[in-house]
């Protein structure tokens, strides 16, 4: 129940090692960087290293063995590899749009077209 509440408390939720300001593993850092590239700054991040119960609880909840884990609108998206793939193929822009979040990459593309 607590995990369910955390997953649904915000449109974008990340369970990671460390914090967005100080990620404590390369995969968590990559997720933070991908979100930053898209201009997503308003999200909830939970440091699983601070709470072993949360660390195991989120793995059980998502049925996914690794951290970080990303949830969009309460739905499990995946870890670093899946978020990277979504970033590369454009799916992340579309998923963010469904949440009412305009990817900063769209604005960057327009700036490039003007040049």
Does residue 1 have a pLDDT over 90? no
Binding-site residues, please? 25
DSSP class of residue 23 equals B
Average pLDDT, whole number, for the chain? 94
32-78 pLDDT tens trace = 999 999 999 999 999 999 999 999 999 999 999 999 999 999 999 99
State pTM to two decimals: 0.92
Which uninterrupted H or E stretch holds 63? none
Distance CA(88)–CA(65), nearest Å, equals: 23
CB 54 within 8 A of CB 46: yes
Q: In this predicted model, which residue has the larger pLDDT, 63 or 113?
A: 63
**HSE toward the beta carbon, residue 51, CA cutoff 13 A:** 14
Fold for 1-114, please state it: Glutaredoxin (3.40.30)
Binding-site residues for [2Fe-2S] cluster, please? 25
Q: Where are the domains of the chain?
A: 1-114
């Amino acid at each position: 129940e607590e995990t369910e509440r955390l997953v649904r408390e915000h449109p974008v939720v990340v369970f990671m090692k460390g914090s967005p300001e100080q990620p404590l593993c390369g995969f968590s850092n990559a997720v933070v960087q991908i979100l930053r590239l898209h201009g997503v700054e308003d999200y909830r991040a939970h440091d699983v290293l601070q709470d072993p119960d949360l660390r195991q609880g989120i793995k059980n909840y998502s049925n996914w063995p690794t951290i970080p884990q990303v949830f969009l609108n309460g739905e499990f998206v995946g870890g670093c590899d899946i978020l990277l793939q979504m970033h590369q193929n454009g799916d992340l822009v579309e998923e963010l749009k469904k949440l009412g979040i305009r990817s900063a990459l769209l604005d960057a593309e327009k700036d490039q077209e003007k040049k």
